[in-house]
Chain A
Amino acid sequence: MRVVLAEDLFLLRDGLVRMLEAYDFEIAAAVETGPELTRALAELEPDVAVVDVRLPPSHTDEGLQCALAARRARPGLPVLVLSQHVEQLYARELLADGNGGIGYLLKDRVFDADQFIDAVRRVAAGGTAMDPQVISQLLSRRSQDSPMAGLTPREREVMELMAQGRSNGAIASQMVVTERAVAKHTSNIFGKLGLPPSDDDNRRVLAVLAYLDRG
């Protein structure tokens, strides 16, 4: 799998390259500025891009803007955005096109290599990887909402993991239950929230995120 990586801090870029290579990714390019990233995304056509929000030369949200522009040029281009801080505002912009293949994680998540690599693979496959912090922010704003209040604690937990972009299998292993139990919870959640049921994992995640963001 070919990756384009954009990160301006040498130590982090180097660490990420090592980690991705250790998990058999091919680094198509590891760049450090916005313009370089734009060029690499257009020319190298990677399977997934891992992008830091803040990049030189402007040191604003240049990485995010490059990623969004690249996705406008090539809809569905898988992009995993990393940042020192997560904002619902940015998550909303990333998810706005409804295409999937989007990840948005705190840089801290690279501590857990297995989970991080899992997120990269998920995004590359057109799935979603939202940082737990984004999800808990979304959930905290919706707590008084009546349909949400109707969820059992267990269902809430499933919903939280689902919103992060985890598959039923991953949720099942994390919660130490069977996949069938998770499937039951998910159909309950969709029923209670009045969302149309779907067999497609990605569609389901996007529906839940859209529901949470509506608040």
Chain B
Amino acid sequence: MTATRAIRGRLRASLLDAWRAFGLSFVSLAGSVTLFVLSLLSITLILLGVGLVTTPTVLAAVREHAELRRRLAAAWSDVRIPAAYRPFPPDLRTGFTGQVERTTLLLKDPATWRDLRWLLVDMTAGYALLALTFALVVFPVEGLAVAAGLWRAFGDDPYWYGFVPVTGQASALAAGALGAVLLLLAPRTTRPLLRLHFVLARAVLAPTHEEELARRIDRLTETRYEAVDTAASELRRIERDLHDGAQARLVAMGMNLGTIEALVEKDPAQAKKLLAMARESSAEALTELRDLVRGIHPPVLAERGLGDAVKALALRLPLATEVSVELPGRAEAPVESAAYFAVSEALTNAVKHAGADRVWVDMHHADGMLRVSVTDNGKGGAVVGAGSGLSGIERRLGTFDGVLAVSSPAGGPTMVTMEIPCALS
């Protein structure tokens, strides 16, 4: 029973593969041919000027076409094809000049030429693989149909089913047997063939090692610049806080003490009053310093690490917060600090903007990644935009190759997730 069920399951899977290959073969042939012709035409027409306007649109369509294949490769065969298009600079001009700039940038991008090469491969070898996948299921089914009586339709001429000449019911049954054998073999062939199609696409589409290195260097340059910039502005903020806060208070205290010295015999009552003031101001200076220290590196973080620091932070919040931590060790101090301030910012947003009354924080470490999520039941609508606290977090995490994702549909809930590659010690 189980054996039959297993065979049936495998047959169903290979039928699905065949069906997918069938559908995709149209996309592959028609899409790739059309887009290739259009791209070629559009790029040639650049000489006449028209191409300058049409090329970005056509190439965008090519990228969409390739993107669809990337998605299907991941979904159907678990083949990951990285995309490595150079982003457009944000200050691109509008109108005709912008379009010209766009065309130039696109033609300079090696990924564009890789896409075009892939279109050629896809409409030939790629298509052939899809057709074969489909045929490996259809052909056996035809054999069964021939055996079931379709042979009568072929008349007197021997119909060749594979290597079997079909002339009557007997040979038709032989064709049917061959079909059945092929059908049973189908589950072993369709899956690898479909996968091969995507592997072929990956071989042509994926960026070369050198390109990946170049992109990595670009990214490192960018994040390093941002890290230095952030550090510098943080230092400026600390300097200003110290200058206007604790430092000023100490000056005032020193002054008061001087006055007290002068007054202590002449007017003890007034001196006592000033002493009380001096003490108050020293207490205030301490409070300010404490807040400043908390902003630079929270003491609990230094003493206990990320887990307890976030728990302590949660206890300070005016709303119900659940913190679950699964960290078997401590990450490097800069990573801990970045993660802490990221959580802190996300929690602040939940309190200030989302109007939430419950927050859940989850932190764990798996596969060399520190994963943190902060979820609230507020009204949603949070975006990572210029100037928002979240984009600051994104930059800070970027220094560690960390990423931030925000899911915040209108009406809530908001979920901020972060991933930072790091090792625990």
Contact = CB atoms under 8 A, between A and B. Distances in A.
Contacts of B286: 108
Nearest to B357: A144
A120 interface: no
B171 interface: no
B300 A89 contact: yes
Interface stretch (A16-24, A39-47, A80-88, A181-189): A80-88
A60 B311 contact: no
A111 B315 contact: no
B283 A108 contact: yes
Contacts of B61: none
B contact residues, range: 20 to 34
B282 interface: yes
A141 interface: yes
A83 B299 CA distance: 10
B276 to A, nearest CB: 11
A111 B304 contact: no
A47 to B, nearest CB: 27
| Chain B interface mostly | helix
B5 interface: no
Interface in B13-65: none
B260 to A, nearest CB: 16
Contacts of A83: 299
B311 A89 contact: yes
B78 interface: no
Interface string B283-318: 100110010011000011011100010011001111
A176 to B, nearest CB: 19
A59 B302 CA distance: 8
Nearest to A141: B318
B71 interface: no
Contact of B299 (A85, A108, A140, A141): A85
B219 interface: no
A108 B294 CA distance: 16
A87 B312 contact: yes
Interface string A15-37: 00000000000000000000000
A54 interface: yes
B237 interface: no
Contacts of A137: 315-316
A61 interface: yes
Contacts of B303: 53-54, 60-61, 64
B302 A87 contact: no
Contacts of A108: 283, 286-287
B216 interface: no
B359 to A, nearest CB: 13
B332 to A, nearest CB: 16
Interface string B209-251: 0000000000000000000000000000000000000000000
B86 interface: no
Contacts of B312: 87-90
A60 B318 contact: no
Nearest to A60: B303
Contacts of B315: 87-89, 137, 141
Contacts of A90: 312
B292 to A, nearest CB: 12
A130 B290 CA distance: 18
Pick from A87, A88, A137, A143 the residue with the most CB of B within 10 Å: A87
Contact of A89 (B283, B293, B308): B308
Interface of A: 53-54, 59-61, 64, 83-85, 87-90, 108, 111, 137, 140-141, 143
13 contacts: A60-B302, A60-B304, A61-B304, A83-B299, A85-B293, A85-B294, A89-B300, A89-B311, A89-B312, A108-B286, A141-B315, A141-B317, A143-B318
3 smallest A-B Cβ distances: which pairs? A61-B303, A88-B315, A89-B312
